[in-house]
Structure 1
Amino acid sequence: MENPTSTLPDLRAEGDPMADRVVGELLDSGELDHANQVLHGLRHNDQLVPEDLPDVLRTFLLETHPLPAWVDHDRVARVHAFFRHDGVHAVSALSLAGLVGCYAVPVGAKLLRTTHRLDHPHRRLSETTQFMLHLMAEDALGPHGDLIPTIQKVRLIHAAVRQLVLRDGHWDVEQDGVPICQDDLLGATLIFSVTVLDGMDRMGVHCPPDVAEDYYYVWRVVGVLLGLRADVIPETLAEGRQLWQTMALRYQGPSSDGVELTGALLDFYHDLTPLGARGAVPAMLRRMIGPQVADWMAVPAGHWEKAIAHAVKVEERLHDAEEHHRLARRVLDQVGRVLLKAEARRITHGQSTEFDIPATLCPVTTPDLPPARDGHTG
């Protein structure tokens, strides 16, 4: 594979032509609302594509449903075991280090603030959590999973944001590139794979090399399904980490938009955290993303950082015990699943999250939802 670093400048001018064409036609024909209503019922990988969709959208769903021929299903299946074991840690790292890693890219943060779609932390976290739950499920990409329709909808959401921003006429393509360009998709894929693994490692959860490699591999598959060109994402974790270091130096930095988005995220978690432990989340975030990015994003420092450092040492001891004692592993796996479901219930209020294709750049408001009832996990 050609070294992706040599193609980075060109990737900023390229979007997702296939999805862009679909969304462009839906916007022009006024069929987007109807399409969203029908798509609400498309949730499972083995569902037939509804007949009452616009032809252009139905064709897109049919053509993007098959997995690439190079996908190794055994590797995907092995990652489910990783999620069953460490899923709660992966979601925590992605919901903190992953999102703030995106906010630390000034152009990306500017886009989020421009569209107003993703700067609402409740909706952003609901969508991220729902996506991760589908990704972590057994047979996620097989006939019994729910991930493929979710990926297709997210890809269309990206295309809609791209089209709407370009049609608005206020985005400087020459300066900032095409919104959600191939470069952005590549960076996001690396953030959600490389930096999540690094964030877990800094929290004392050390994945064996083969497990980390498989986790990265699954995100390669997901990135391609989301419209990323397969020829630009590195094949190995080591190559991906090297590329992300290059991209981070090139694109990450301080911005007022990034600070605002990070502040909104921390405020949201602040309201979910028990009163006496509200300094724990920014302390965890600072440890996962490192002091430079944390300072750029105005993540507050405090005495909780010492407590988190101590907790990491405890986690490392527990993780070592878990690896070497079968009974402990079963117990902690079960605890991890309970914690993950509880986190999902808190963020989604026990409601299923809809991935609607936006028709305007107006802010998306999320109404106050009732507390989750027993039996509903989102």
Structure 2
Amino acid sequence: MGKYEHISKARLEEYRLVADDPADAVIEAYFPDQKQALWSIINGLEDNGSNLAPEALPSLQHLYEQMQQEAKGFSVSLLQQGQAFFNAHASDIMLLLGLLSLPYCYAAANGAEVLVRSKRIVEEPERRLFETAEFVFDVSAKGAFGPKGKALPQLLKVRLMHATARWYAKRSGSWSVKEWGEPINQEDMAGTNLAFSLIVIRGLKKLAKKPSSKAALEYIVYWNCIGRLLGLHEELLPKSNKEAYLLERNIRERQFRASSAGQQLTSSLLKYFEQATYNSPIKGKSQAFVAFLLGPEVARLVGVSTSRLDIATFQPYRWFFQLQAALNRRSDSYALALKQFRKASALLKP
């Protein structure tokens, strides 16, 4: 296993007690009295070339400057490779984020505890999906890390949202660090980063797309860049496909189990999918589709109960995807996926 051998399960246990000190320092400085001022400053950042408002406190200035410096060190060619991968599979990736990546994350019982405490996630899963989609589009666009890109403001916002969730969870009186670790800790963040990279690649294979090992690694490395700016420690950023596989396996074996929190989150998501797919080819079968993508064991953990017959109905879909791929009949692109997203998101606006 080479130099990745030290990411053992014991080491991951240590990471459950590590959060994100620079981001937490910002929230401690602004909360609770100045939280509106903080979000006003964050929402004022239009692109990577924007500067923080002069009244930003030192902790916020330090964090953003740190992120800017980190981003300047990224290889332009590596960023372009990751963006090209997204562009080639954009529509499928966005589909997989909702039907696979999110319920996969909910199978991590300890991590699900902090998520289920957000009424917005449980009661408005569509908002969670669309906010996640907007984030992924912004950080995956061509030039996302250039002066006019939007990656840095989005990443800063998400990083501080994580810190906000930690602040509230630890003051709720019901959070047990001993039982669950720090809210949104390093192990949970590493698992989520893999859900948006490695697990998406596995999902593409289930849709009969066959990205090469090289292309798969390029996308994982791209999400390493994103993970680094979200506060993930270098040790938790896999440098090869094998390292990604080993890290995902260790986290899954440590954290995946049935839980009421994970099942509640998944149930809320599935109810939305049933409504959203009413006029689609998978009307009434979105639950079976999720089970097909997750696999029987993970589906069971998050409470997706379908019969083998239900899941088997997706084999014809798989053959259809294979035929599409072989004949090259369906093109995909960032622009096409973004157009579909904007059309769908417009329906959410009051």
TM-score (norm 2): 0.91
Partners in 2 of 1:92 and 1:209 — Cα distance?
A: 22
CA displacement at 1:24 relative to structure 2: 0.6
In the alignment, is the contact (CA less than 8 A) between 1:200 and 1:206 conserved in 2?
yes
SS in 1 for 2:250: helix
**Partners of 2:213 and 2:241 within 8 A in 1:** no
Contact (CA 8 Å) 1:203, 1:287: kept in 2 or not? no
Work out whether 1:281 is the aligned partner of 2:268.
no
Amino acid at match of 1:321: L
Instruction: Give the CA deviation at 1:93.
Output: 1.1
Aligned position for 1:338: 336
Alignment partner, residue 316 of structure 1: 322
Q: Aligned-pair distance for 1:307?
A: 3.8
CA distance in 2, matches of 1:170, 1:306: 42
CA RMSD of aligned residues (A): 2.1
**Distance (whole Å) between structure 1 residues aligned to residue 189 and residue 210 of structure 2:** 26
- Whether the 8 Å CA contact 2:111–2:180 is kept in 1: the answer is no
CA spacing shift, 1:304–1:175, aligned 2, 3 Å: closer
Q: 1:183 aligns with which of 181, 187, 193?
A: 187
CA-to-aligned-CA distance 1:247-302 (integer Å, 9 cap, x gap): 11111011112111111111112111135732332222111110111122222426
Q: Secondary structure at the match of 1:231?
A: helix
Contact 1:103–1:258 (Cα < 8 Å) also in 2: yes
Structure-to-structure mapping, 1:257-272, within 5 angstroms: 257-272=261-276
Partners of 1:161 and 1:137 in 2: CA distance: 27
DSSP 3-state at the match of 1:264: helix
**1: distance between equivalents of 2:120 and 2:169?**
12
Q: Which ranges in structure 2 are unaligned for 5 or more consecutive residues?
A: none
How far is 1:343 from its partner? 3.6
What is the 5 A alignment of 1:113-124?
113-119=116-122, 120-124=124-128
What one-letter code is carried by the residue in structure 2 that aligns with 1:318? Q
Corresponding letter in the other structure for 1:332: S
**Cα distance, 1:170 vs. partner?**
1.9
Stretches of structure 1 lacking an aligned partner (at least 5 in a row): 323-327, 351-367, 371-378
Aligned AA (1:56): S
1:23-80, Cα deviation, whole Å (9 max, x unpaired) = 011015x111022123212131122222233333233222222235753220210222
CA distance in 1, matches of 2:165, 2:180: 15
Partner of 2:106: 103
Q: Percent identity?
A: 26
CA distance in 1: counterparts of 2:152 and 2:132, whole angstroms: 15
Structure 1 counterpart of 2:58: 55
| Contact in 2 for aligned 1:200/1:288 (Cα 8 Å) | no
1:38 to 34, 37, 41: 41
User: Is 2:258 the partner of 1:254?
Assistant: yes
Distance 2:140 2:150 in 1: 10
**1:44–1:144 CA contact under 8 A, matched in 2:** yes
TM-score, normalized by length of structure 1? 0.85
Q: For 1:222-233, list aligned pairs within 5 A.
A: 222-233=226-237
Matched residue, 1:26? 30
Q: Secondary structure of the equivalent of 1:199?
A: helix
1:235 shift after superposition: 1.1
- Structure 2 CA distance for partners of 1:15 and 1:117, relative to 1, 3 Å: farther
Distance 1:70 1:213 in 2: 19
Whole-Å Cα distance in 1 between the matches of residues 321 and 341 of structure 2? 19
Query: Which is further off, 239-248 or 2-11?
Result: 2-11
The answer to whether the Cα contact below 8 Å between 1:106 and 1:258 also exists between their aligned partners in 2 is yes
Task: State the AA in 1 paired with 2:249.
Answer: Q
Amino acid across the alignment from 1:78: Q
Output aligned runs, 1:56-95, within 5 Å.
Answer: 56-67=59-70, 71-95=74-98
Q: Distance in 1 between matches of 2:338 and 2:296?
A: 27
Partners of 2:22 and 2:59 within 8 A in 1: no
CA distance in structure 2 between the partners assigned to 1:91 and 1:238 by the alignment: 25
Query: How many Å apart are 1:312 and its aligned residue?
Result: 1.3
| Counterpart amino acid of residue 257 in structure 2 | G
State the distance in 2 between where 1:136 and 1:107 align: 29
Distance 2:29 2:51 in 1: 23
Letter in 2 for 1:135: V
CA distance in 2, matches of 1:136, 1:321: 27
SS of 2:314 mapped into structure 1: helix
Q: 1:150 deviation in Å?
A: 0.4
Q: Give, in whole Å, the separation in 2 of the partners of 1:233 and 1:79.
A: 15
- Find the residue that maps to 1:250 and give its secondary structure: helix
Number of positions where the alignment pairs a residue of Structure 1 with one of Structure 2: 343
Which AA in structure 2 matches 1:338? Answer: L
Q: Give the aligned residue type for 1:349.
A: A
